[in-house]
Amino acid sequence: MSNITKEVLLDIVGNFSYYLIHEAQTKTRNDVTTIEIDDISYRRAFGRFGDVFVIDIFYHSEYGKHKSKVAIKFAQDKSQLITEIKNTALLEQKFSTRSIIQVPRYIFVNLLDSSYVAYEGITGETYEDIEKAIDKSFWAGYVLAIIHGTNPRPVICDIYEEIFRRLAFSIFSKDEEKQKEETIMVNSKKFFEMMHASQGGCDAFGDFHQSNLMLRVTPQGDIVKIALIDPTFWMSGSFDRFEDMGTFFGRQAFLEYRATGAITETLGDVREFLNGYSVHLREMKMPKLRELYPKGFTLDLFLAIWAMMDLVDKTTEQNIPITHPDIQLLKEFAYYCLTEQPIDKNFNR
C-alpha cells in the first residue's frame, strides 16, 4: 500500500474513538465521554502479504492528554485478513488461562477496497532484539507447546519428504555439487525415520519467527507479558513439532554459524526452549518429547529446510545473485546441519 499517507492514517484512526475512549477511561479511571485526536506518529514495516503501520495516537479528553498505540495491517486479499481474524480468536482461546500470554485484540476491521485490520498496540521488544529478558527461551518454548495442542498423532511425513527433495535438488543439483546432494539425501533418511516413528503431529503456527514474539519485562529483566503477533499462518493439522522450532531458531543459528562456524550458544537456547516446552507437556499430562519422538528429534532437518527455503526466497523473490556470499553461506549452513547434525549429537545420544 504505497499510497498510504499520514492523512490517510489519521482518517482511519478517526474510526477508533470508542477504543480510545475506553483506553482513556482505563488509564485515568474517569468517565471519559469524548476525545479529540491531536496528532499521530508512525513507523512502517513490510509484511509478507501487506504493510503494517505501528501508530502512536496523541489525543485529549475532558480529563487531559492521552497516548495510545495501535497497529494497522493492510492486505490486498481480504481473505487473508479473515483467516488472520479467525486464527486470532482460536489462539486467544488457547491462551485464555495464561494471563502472562496474550494475542493482540483486533479493534476494527475494514474489508472494502483497502482491506485492513487494526489491533491494539503492544509495548515491548521482540524476542530477537531484547537484550535483558530472564528465561526468554524457556517461555518461548512454553508458548509454542500451547500452540501445538494436546492431541498426539502421527506426523504427515510425505509433505516434508517432498519439500526436502525439491529443495535439495534445486540447490545442490549442479554437477560439482552432486556429491553433496547425494550426501544430504542419504543423511536425511535418518531424520525421516525419526519422523515416521513419532507421534509428534500437531497444529502449527507456521511462521514462528523470533520477531513474532513480543516481550515486556521489568527493569530487572523479569518477563511480565508475552505477546504473539501475526497468526496468519496458523494451521490445524498433523505437522512435525520441530518445524516451528526450526523456523524459530533458523536465523539465530545461521548468524552464529556465520560468525563462529558452530552454533554453541544456540544449542544452549534450544535446551532452555525444550525445557519450557516440556513443562507444558507435563502440565497437560502429555507424553514427554522423547516419548513422542522415540528415535530422536528432527530439528537438524528443519534448520536445514529453513536455510534452503530462505536461500530460495532471497534468490527468487529478492533477486539476490546465487554467487552472493550470504547465499553461499546459507547453502553451507544447510549442509552443516545435515552432515554435522549438532542437535542430534547434543540431544539424541
Span 217-258, pLDDT tens digits = 999 999 999 999 888 889 999 999 999 999 999 999 999 999
Q: What is the pTM of this model?
A: 0.91
Residue 13 lies in a domain: yes
- How many domains in the chain? 2
Say yes or no to pLDDT of 313 above 80: yes
Say yes or no to pLDDT of 316 above 80: yes
Of 85, 103, 122, which marks where a domain is finished?
A: 122
Of 122, 142, 167, which marks where a domain is finished?
A: 122
Residue 143 lies in a domain: yes
* Rounded Cα distance, 245 and 287, in Å: 18
Decide if 142 contacts 229 (C-beta within 8 A): no
Say yes or no to pLDDT of 349 above 90: no
Do 217 and 305 sit in the same domain of this protein? yes
Cα distances (Å, whole numbers) of residue 283 to 76, 145, 279, 287: 41, 11, 6, 11
Please identify which residue in the block is written with the cell numbers 494451521. 235
Residue 52: which H helix or E strand, with range?
strand 51-61
Q: Is 147 exposed, middle or buried (0-12, 13-18, 19+ CB in 10 A)?
A: buried
Decide if 115 contacts 76 (C-beta within 8 A): yes
Residue 193 lies in a domain: yes
pLDDT of the residue at 47: 66
pLDDT of the residue at 115: 86
Region 308-337: mean pLDDT is 95
Say yes or no to pLDDT of 332 above 60: yes
CA dihedral sign, ordered 138, 140, 146, 151: negative
Q: Residue 67's domain spans which residues? A: 6-122
The set of cell numbers assigned to 121 is 498496540
**3-class DSSP state of 284:** coil
pLDDT of the residue at 57: 97
Average pLDDT score over the chain: 93
Of 101, 122, 143, which marks where a domain is finished?
A: 122
Q: pLDDT digits over 147-189, tens only? A: 999 899 999 999 999 999 999 999 998 777 889 999 999 999 9
Do 213 and 299 sit in the same domain of this protein? yes
